[in-house]
Amino acid sequence: MGETTHHRRPWTVAAATAMAVGVIVGGIVGPLGSGTAWAQASGPGERPSVDHGVAADHSWTAPDHTVTAAPSELLDDALADAASGTGDTAPVNDRTAVRVATWRVDGEGKPDIDTTTTTVAAAPAAIAAAQEVPGVLAVAVDARTELLADVTEERSRVLPLTAVSGAEQNTTVDPLTGYQWDMASLAVDAAATTTRGAGVTVAVIDSGVDGTHPELAGRVLPGIDYVDPANAGATAGWADQNGHGTHVGGVVAAARGNDVGIAGEADKVTILPLRVLDANGAGYISDAASAVVAAVDRGAGVINLSLGSPTSSSVLANAMAYAQSRGVLVVAASGNGRSYGSPTSYPAAYPSVLAVASIGPAGAVSPFSTAGSYVDLAAPGEQILSTVPGGYQFMSGTSMAAPHVTAAAALWLSIHPGALGTAAGAVLTSTARDAGPAGRDNDYGFGVLTLASIPVSGAPGAVSSTLSMVVDRSVVTAGGQAIVLAIGRRSDGSAPAGQLVTITTVTRGVTSTRVVTLDGNGMAAAPVPIPATTQISASWSLSVATMPVVVFSSPALKVKRSKAAVKVTLKQAQGQLVRLQQKKDGRWVVAAKAKAKRATLSTRWHTAPGTYRVAVSSVPGQVGLVTSSWRVR
């Protein structure tokens, strides 16, 4: 029948549809040349609120139609896609290997993937056998596509580690930085003086990352090699026979100030290499999905996917949903198909993914960069000099644009310990510099990446600044939304007007993120979905606040007022602290309080003339829920 491999999936991804498609890498190689800073974009336009909350799909537990479909039908679909260019780049014939993937549930309720490699002639029998596997959810014929690269003579020119000389020695520290127009345009030197990405793990799902390169040595973890599983152990995922993955890794994390080569954007991050592409830049979509799940489970805060396919796959879509449900940011190249009519590229087009287009040194969208309604940001992607095994190389593509955004997210996360990667994505889209038509457009998305959200070391008020929150129960809507009021103060008591605050909610495992701007009083309000027990956190460049809040669906909290008394009834109340607050000298003080020891609390308090409200909290000293105020005369 052929060679069979077995991979355990630690998460329940959804059942695959009839066919898992292959992977196209979004990198092309362009000419050598020095760059200039891009032209500043026009003024900011209107931007819709950013909400990256997407629930994971657990429909994987039901077998799909591929379990009962005729084996010949599944194979014919694969052959038709291959012949049309949807799957393989060349038609499949009897001498071409076919990989049949079986998705099943094991005895512990976890999904397993078995892959069998066989010939076209033997494929129907292999598919039929896969359909009989106990617990099978889906059977798929994996397809492959190839690296989107312009393999020109320039690609073969590698600037070696030992031969950086003459005009290439532009500086005495990191001598090739003079060629890095991308880092200069982003003002990375200023932003990187903070934490430089320390404490953040970035997963690079690509052709491997060379952990022996002097620019990356000591910061590349043992990963996973899906192309050659025999490459295991401490250097798994390091074998990069193409160079693309190491190039991406260098944009993110090449060492700064080491007197060698270039400088990366976030050089203190740790790289998790997950190799899914071979020497030709080709790979299987099932491996890419496996790598996303592995990256999440191994603690990555940001995942970079400088690859794509014109065909959507439920396997990959659910891997994206899994990452989103865990608060991990996925950044993907938008695609290099502009000259082909900008076909939609996946995973970039999935709603939970931050899709990145490319710009050149002049700030204009690159001639190859795919346009689409799913584009979120644009970043430098032309003539990008970065690391490859044995030296350095210029490459161009949305593949090169994506890691600039990935690194920016890592910088933000490193100064917000405990914050979610998805929050970083929302901040970056909100601080982008508008370009093209005012507001969001299909070329630049919300605009060109800036590092405005990354404070320079020693920024005013960076020490002992506070951020607090109040959830206003009085404005809960029928849809289960309430208003969160964020209140920020610097250490000197001043209000940080214009400061961006990211509000993140986690409800039943689903993460949602919004970004608000503090006004002249250091306050901002945002509606958030809180239909049940919800963890709410807020973060900014100066401080982080986290508040567990229990929000009860109406009519769990009832407040009945009379002229001289108020009766409060609270259901699902055990452990909650209920306080009657009175406003005195502009401040709310506790007039009476009660702690619920049972599921229902009912209490009655007398009220003298004054202004009152009722507050409920599970944490003493915090206001979790508040009613609107009323006056007793």
Max CA distance (Å), the chain: 91
Q: How far apart are CA 248 and CA 255, in angstroms?
A: 14
Q: Is 102 exposed, middle or buried (0-12, 13-18, 19+ CB in 10 A)?
A: buried
| SS3 of residue 20 by DSSP | coil
Q: How far apart are CA 566 and CA 560, in angstroms?
A: 6
- Residue whose token pair is 């009476």: 592
DSSP 157-209: --EETT---GGG---SSSTTGGG-HHHHHTTHHHHTTS-TTTT-EEEEEES--
Residue pair 29/155 in contact by the 8 Å Cβ criterion: yes
Q: Which two tokens stand for residue 267?
A: 């050089």
Residue pair 329/302 in contact by the 8 Å Cβ criterion: yes
3-class DSSP string for 499-531: CEEEEEEEECCEEEEEEEECCCCCEEEEEEECC
59 belongs to the catalytic site: no
Residue pair 447/46 in contact by the 8 Å Cβ criterion: no
| SS3 of residue 540 by DSSP | coil
399 belongs to the catalytic site: yes
Catalytic residue among 206, 225, 376, 434: 206
Catalytic residue among 399, 453, 465, 541: 399
Q: How far apart are CA 425 and CA 413, in angstroms?
A: 10
Closest CA to 545 of 469, 453, 454, 624: 469
Amino acid (one-letter) located at 245: G
Q: How far apart are CA 343 and CA 347, in angstroms?
A: 13
Q: List the alpha helices (DSSP H) in 376-436.
A: 398-414, 421-430
Q: Which two tokens stand for residue 397?
A: 């593509």
Q: Cα dist. 88→124, 284, 538, 559 in Å?
A: 19, 10, 46, 65
Give per-residue burial for 381-401: e unless 16+ CB within 10 Å, then b: bbbbbbbbbbbbbbbbbbbbb
465 belongs to the catalytic site: no
Closest CA to 506 of 529, 480, 526: 529
Catalytic residue among 213, 244, 247, 404: 244
Amino acid (one-letter) located at 406: T
Pairing status of strand 329-333 against strand 302-305:
parallel
Residue pair 423/408 in contact by the 8 Å Cβ criterion: no
| SS3 of residue 405 by DSSP | helix
| SS3 of residue 153 by DSSP | helix
Q: Cα dist. 262→51, 135, 324, 458, 536 in Å?
A: 35, 51, 33, 26, 40
Q: Which residues are part of the catalytic machinery?
A: 206, 244, 399
